[in-house]
Structures are given as structure tokens and as C-alpha cells.
Amino acid sequence: AAGVIQSPRHLIKEKRETATLKCYPIPRHDTVYWYQQGPGQDPQFLISFYEKMQSDKGSIPDRFSAQQFSDYHSELNMSSLELGDSALYFCASSLGVGPNTEAFFGQGTRLTVV
Amino acid sequence: AQKITQTQPGMFVQEKEAVTLDCTYDTSDPSYGLFWYKQPSSGEMIFLIYQGSYDQQNATEGRYSLNFQKARKSANLVISASQLGDSAMYFCAMREDNNDMRFGAGTRLTVKP
């Protein structure tokens, strides 16, 4: 079965550079979530989209922005990168929203800022 | 305030034995969902099992079962017949009425041969 696809899997950037992470949800899933997981930490919710509209916002820095496109894929844009942005970034998708909705995660993008 | 609490930073279990990973949660919403995810050393987050707040029966998925005690606000994961491949980080998570899924700090399970 198709899963959530994230690209790239690994990314190395220098401080103050920009990065774009991509997420392709499971086919027919209309909701996408972004999470950031620092080393040895639990995943922190950044932002989510439902039907191409932002549905919820977590601890996403102002330097980051995201959107969901007409084909439901999503991109997380990160500017003015800082060393502290080094983390594993997960995208998850689900069909619909709500507390009973199962979310499936991609394999993550490991971002290293040097 | 911490919404999801996993009090066991690390657990050891002998291969083929059962193990229980603890999870307690805090919410005032009547409708919520509880999830367990497995994260192996490779980093991916693998969905294991889900329990809805209105579900009358405990969820089961193969060797995984969720011991849901609503009054105690606990949702412990039970893994039966542990295998070496079960060694990983395990995260308990909860989603309330909004979209924000909150995770606990995780429990690192090590299965010993």
C-alpha cells in the first residue's frame, strides 16, 4: 500500500540558508500535518492543513511557512536556518480530521544545519 | 501542562515475554483519540494501534493491545511475545477535538535475546 512520501530524506544546509521539504500524502488523504523532532525529543506539532486550508497551527517559527497544493501535497519552507533547526521533520497524513482520525507518518526528512 | 505522560524512559524485556508500556493522559474533552507509534533507530514513525474515547472494547492489533482505563486516564500498550525487532522507541499520543496530536516523551524498549 502507498505510504506518505517525504523528500528529500536527508538535507544539509548552512546557517541562514533556506530549505524546502516536500510531503506527498497517502492517496485520497486530504489532511497533512508537519512535526519537528529534535534529537532525543518527542515530535512537536508545527502546522496542519485540511483540504488545502491551514487547519491548525502549533509551534511553527515565523521563519517557516507551509502550504498544501491542489494535488494535496504539502511543502514546508524554512528560511534563515539556524543550528537549532537541525531535526527530523515528519509529515503525516489522514483522511479527514478529528480526534478519531488515524494519522500515518512518512519516513521523515533529516535536516542538518551547519 | 503535560498532556501525555510516559513515565518509563527505558524498558527491558526478555524475548518471547510480554511487556507493558505505560501512558497516562490529561484531557477534559469527552472526545479524543489515543495512538501508539513505534520509532526504530532508522527514524520512521510507524503507527501501531488506536483507541477512541468512546470505544467500549480495548483495541488489539496482532501482538499489540491497548489496555484502556478511561477513569484512570491511562492507555498502556501491551506487546505480547516480544521479538528482537520490537526494540525501538515507543510514543503514546493523543488527539483532542483540534488537529494537534501531542506526543509523550517516549519509552525506549530493548528486547534481550
pLDDT in tens, A41-94: 999 999 999 999 998 899 899 999 999 999 999 999 999 999 999 999 999 999
pLDDT > 70 fraction of chain B, expressed in percent and rounded: 96
What's the pLDDT score for residue B99? Answer: 65
Cell of B53: 474515547
Mean pLDDT of the B47-73 span: 94
Give the Cα separation of A88 and A81 in Å (integer): 14
Measure CA of the first residue to CA of the last residue in chain A; give whole Å.
36
Please check the confidence at residue A1 and state whether its pLDDT lies above 70: no
Which 8-state DSSP code applies to residue A58?
-
A82 in reach of chain B (CB within 8 A): no
What's the pLDDT score for residue A101? Answer: 82
For B52-90, give the DSSP string. Answer: ETT-SS--EETTEEEEEETTTTEEEEEE-S--GGG-EEE
**Do A20 and A75 meet the contact criterion of CB atoms below 8 Å apart?**
yes
Cell of A16: 541562514
- Residue A100 DSSP SS3: coil
A99 in reach of chain B (CB within 8 A): yes
**Do A44 and A37 meet the contact criterion of CB atoms below 8 Å apart?**
yes
For B47, residues 6+ apart whose C-beta sits below 8 A from its C-beta are A102, A103, A104, A105, B35, B36, B37
Mean pLDDT of the B70-84 span: 97
Please check the confidence at residue B1 and state whether its pLDDT lies above 60: no
- Classify each residue of A69-107 as buried b or exposed e, where b means 16 or more C-beta atoms within 10 Å of its C-beta: eeebbbbbebeebeeebbbbbbbbbbeebbbbbebbbbb
Least confident of A20-24, A52-56, B13-17, B94-98: B94-98
Mean pLDDT of the B35-61 span: 93
Least confident of A54-63, A99-108, B33-42: A99-108
Contact A58 B103 (CB under 8 A): no
Contact A105 B43 (CB under 8 A): no
B68 in reach of chain A (CB within 8 A): no
What's the pLDDT score for residue B6? Answer: 96
What's the pLDDT score for residue A69? Answer: 97
Best mutation target among A10, A45, A59 (most B Cβ atoms within 10 Å) is A45
What's the pLDDT score for residue B42? Answer: 87
Mean pLDDT of the B52-74 span: 95
Give the Cα separation of A83 and A46 in Å (integer): 18
The whole-chain average pLDDT of chain B stands at 93
A86 in reach of chain B (CB within 8 A): no
Between A37 and B97, the higher pLDDT residue: A37
Q: Helix-strand-coil percent breakdown of chain A, rounded to 5?
A: 5, 50, 45
Please check the confidence at residue A103 and state whether its pLDDT lies above 60: yes
Mean pLDDT of the B1-25 span: 93
Please check the confidence at residue B100 and state whether its pLDDT lies above 80: no
Strand A10-13 relative to strand A109-113, pairing: parallel
Q: How confident is the model at residue B2 (pLDDT cuts 50, 70, 90)?
A: low
- Residue A84 DSSP SS3: helix
Which residue of chain A is at minimal alpha-carbon distance from B106?
Answer: A42
